[in-house]
Amino acid sequence: MTKSGKKGEKVVLAYSGGLDTSVILPWLKETYGYEVIAFAAELGQGDELAGIKRKALASGAVKCVVKDLRKEFVADFLWPMLKSGAVYENGYLLGTSIARPLIAKHQVDVAHAEGATAVAHGATGKGNDQVRFELTYMALNPSLKIIAPWKDPNFALTSREAAIDYAKKHGIPIEQSKKKIYSRDRNIWHLSHEGADLEDPANEPKDDLFVISRPVSKTPDKPDYVTIGFHEGVPIKLDGKLTSSVKIIEMLNQLGGKHGNYLASPFDALTGFEYFKRQTPHTVLRVLRDKSARSARGPAVLVVEPGFHARLLRLVDAGVYAFEPFIG
């Protein structure tokens, strides 16, 4: 990790517009003297990227680059991951982790295009995200300097309360407050929540936590039915109609959210207890395993087209899964 930057040098920051990277952007300018280029990847975050260029510039960036990576994310990362059976702890579908190398890859591309000498990320020094980002940077261009503020002893914004105070002091637009303080990560494949009351595994999620999924008390009692058609282990049809991969996941997320599909998992004692919403991945994986997917209050059954189901179940038995939907 570099300790200082020369005036006029550029750094490309992996920027989501969330609390952490919102305060890291001006902090990089103050601490290292770099010109900061914000890079945001469109991975299916819903409306989270609305106004992100304006926000980045208002926070001190000299430029904000946004790339729509949804098709590449699904085709080159999600489907291969699911077909390989990459399911962590027999239930977690790698929603955050699978996206990091793709973000880092395009971040390096932006660094090359903009003549930047450094790249930066907002991952903490205690989790695995720092490794995902930094190994990708080093693999693609080992000459780039890597700035990781959370590993800098001078970085004091190590609590969300401190970050909120810093944002207010510097006039940085943020949505978080000390009462609305959850940390979230979202893409087309999942939505995770952590922090605040979720740090205690004994606490059930409050109704206002949910963004995609409905609380169980508000889910329907009757099931919905959808037919999914596959080709070579990849879903290509919904209800008999050829449908793009991105659209299939979006529609299954909507269906799963309606039925309140989500998962609670204290998967990492270091980073805290998280709630994951994975409609599309879990729904389809359950179909492949059980011929039906059950939501929190009854079945959301997916019927696989004739001819595919038996063959796919043999693949599942052999350890080759087709994909788990993140619903909700």
Reply yes or no on whether 20 is catalytic.
yes
| β-pair type (183-187, 190-194) | antiparallel
Amino acid at the residue 324: E
Catalytic hit among 22, 59, 70, 100? 100
Q: Distance between CA 273 and CA 183 in Å, rounded?
A: 11
Enclosing H/E stretch for 299: strand 298-299
Q: Distance between CA 281 and CA 191 in Å, rounded?
A: 12
Q: Are 39 and 13 in contact (CB under 8 A)?
A: yes
Pick from 219, 199, 220, 180: nearest CA to 275:
199
Catalytic hit among 16, 59, 97, 129? 129
What percent of the chain is helix, strand and coil (3-state, nearest 5)? Answer: 40, 20, 40
Reply yes or no on whether 214 is catalytic.
no
Distances (CA, A) of 280 to 95, 212, 262, 297: 11, 12, 11, 17
Catalytic hit among 183, 192, 213, 245? 183
- Which amino acids are annotated catalytic? 20, 100, 129, 183
